[in-house]
Amino acid sequence: VTARRIDGNAIAGEIRREVKEGAERLRREHGITPGLATVLVGLNPASALYVSMKRKACAEAGIASFPHELPAAASQAEILALVRRLGADAAVHGILVQLPLPPGIDERAVLDAVPLSKDVDGFHPLNIGALAMKGREPEFIPCTPNGVIELLLRTKTPVDGAHAVVLGRSNIVGMPVSLLLLQRNATVTVCHSRTRDLASITRQADILVAAIGRPRFVTRDMIRPGATVIDVGVNTIPDPARASGKRTVGDVDFEAAIEVAGAITPVPGGVGPMTIAMLLTNTLRSAGR
């Protein structure tokens, strides 16, 4: 028996269609077109690719995008001035600063300049703080963590009462995923680089979320038979068989894991497309307010 393969592209497609309907309704009933501004600094090819994918997804969903590109040599003051200008622009409902910023730029200062009401990435400390508190609602839920939850919900994976083990505790993935799972009444164990005897913990997981950035780190023996495995990792490894000489793999050894898991997300085609879908969702939500 092999696991069910969770099709992130299909589920993200469903969400993108829902966003498109929502954007059409907003335009029809209120004359508002949701708008997302993207800020790209420098010539990082991966960042440029991510931004172009996000803009394409916006166009398909009826969201206006306002691309801004600054040279790698842009000063912190210039970047801050741009972000502040976008913050004051009524046509812009969401601001996405593509990370990483070039060396020498204070990333925190730039992100802090994004108004909370337009922080569609959901990285603002007040957003994360609200996530951690009972009875509070964050302005926006960070996209990748929200994508993980949405995959679980839309595949009808039981979360309430399940033991969820999260590998990784970063601000952008591990920690918010853990908080969201807790909100949904999972029993959550968060593992990190200092965790002792990791495999004995991951083997208890009904839901295993891997977000550590180590290629194929999670092996077959670390997975409980029948578990749902969500692989957030995006890692490039050499592959001489390919023209590019490399390929993308997750944090989970997919070929081995699929033999023991109950359901599993592939990389690519799992969590990745969900991140973009949730960015569109957040932008629509912001415009709706």
Ligand X SMILES: NC(=O)c1ccc[n+]([C@@H]2O[C@H](COP(=O)([O-])OP(=O)(O)OC[C@H]3O[C@@H](n4cnc5c(N)ncnc54)[C@H](OP(=O)(O)O)[C@@H]3O)[C@@H](O)[C@H]2O)c1
- Contact positions vs ligand X (CB under 6 A): 144, 167-170, 172-174, 191-195, 198, 211-214, 232-235, 271-272, 275
Kindly list the distances between the CA atom of residue 97 and the CA atoms of 40, 87, 107, in Å, as whole numbers in the listed order.
Answer: 7, 12, 9
Q: Please report how close the Cβ of residue 279 comes to ligand X at its closest, in angstroms.
A: 10
Kindly list the distances between the CA atom of residue 99 and the CA atoms of 109, 142, 285, in Å, as whole numbers in the listed order.
Answer: 13, 14, 23
**Nearer to ligand X among residue 32 and residue 198 (C-beta):** 198
**Nearer to ligand X among residue 82 and residue 201 (C-beta):** 201
Q: Read off φ and ψ for residue 107, nearest 5 degrees.
A: -60, -40
Indicate if 121 belongs to the active site: yes
Q: Given 7, 89, 106, 121, which residue is catalytic?
A: 121
Output the residue with the shortest Cβ distance to ligand X.
170
Indicate if 98 belongs to the active site: yes
**Nearer to ligand X among residue 82 and residue 211 (C-beta):** 211
Q: Which two tokens mark 251?
A: 């944090």
**Nearer to ligand X among residue 275 and residue 283 (C-beta):** 275
Kindly list the distances between the CA atom of residue 244 and the CA atoms of 236, 240, 247, 269, in Å, as whole numbers in the listed order.
Answer: 11, 8, 8, 19
**Is residue 199 within 8 Å of 174, Cβ to Cβ?**
no
Kindly list the distances between the CA atom of residue 91 and the CA atoms of 65, 193, 222, 283, 286, in Å, as whole numbers in the listed order.
Answer: 10, 43, 48, 12, 11
Indicate if 253 belongs to the active site: no
The residue type at 53: M
List active site positions.
54, 98, 121
